[in-house]
């Protein structure tokens, strides 16, 4: 599984290298890790989730940012990461109940 973790790590690092990374980038990092993990075969959902969260944390460790910002981003990835992964997976499976009714009618793009 180390090769798979490294593959996700490298994919995330490549995906964000041209971006300005801030504390608000936690979801971008996690989403990039999920995109890379999705391409891996032979793993269960929980195994992929663990690899995603590990790779996201490793990427944050290597980012060239101030200690305070890095600490805040690392905390955001650690605290929000599991929920972000679960929410994205649920959305992909259509389990969030975000149909075109209800509050979505207020958005012109969703009518």
Distance CA 90, CA 81 (A): 14
Distance CA 84, CA 10 (A): 20
Cβ within 8 Å of residue 57, ≥6 positions away: 74, 77, 78
Joined tokens for residue 26: 């936690």
pLDDT tens across 14-47, in order?
888 767 888 888 989 999 999 999 888 888 999 9
Instruction: Give the domain extent around 59.
Output: 2-110
pLDDT tens across 45-94, in order?
999 999 999 999 999 998 888 999 999 999 999 999 999 999 989 888 88
Q: How many domains does the chain have?
A: 1
């Amino acid at each position: 599984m180390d090769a798979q973790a490294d593959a996700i790590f490298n994919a995330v690092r490549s995906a964000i290298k041209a971006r300005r990374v801030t504390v608000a980038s936690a979801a971008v990092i996690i989403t990039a890790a999920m995109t890379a993990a999705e391409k891996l075969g032979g793993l269960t959902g929980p195994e992929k989730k663990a690899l995603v969260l590990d790779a996201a944390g490793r990427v944050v460790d290597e980012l060239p940012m101030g200690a305070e910002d890095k600490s805040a981003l690392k905390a955001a990835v650690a605290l929000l990461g599991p929920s972000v992964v679960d929410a994205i997976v649920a959305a992909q499976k259509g389990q969030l109940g975000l149909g075109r009714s209800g509050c979505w009618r207020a958005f012109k793009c969703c009518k």
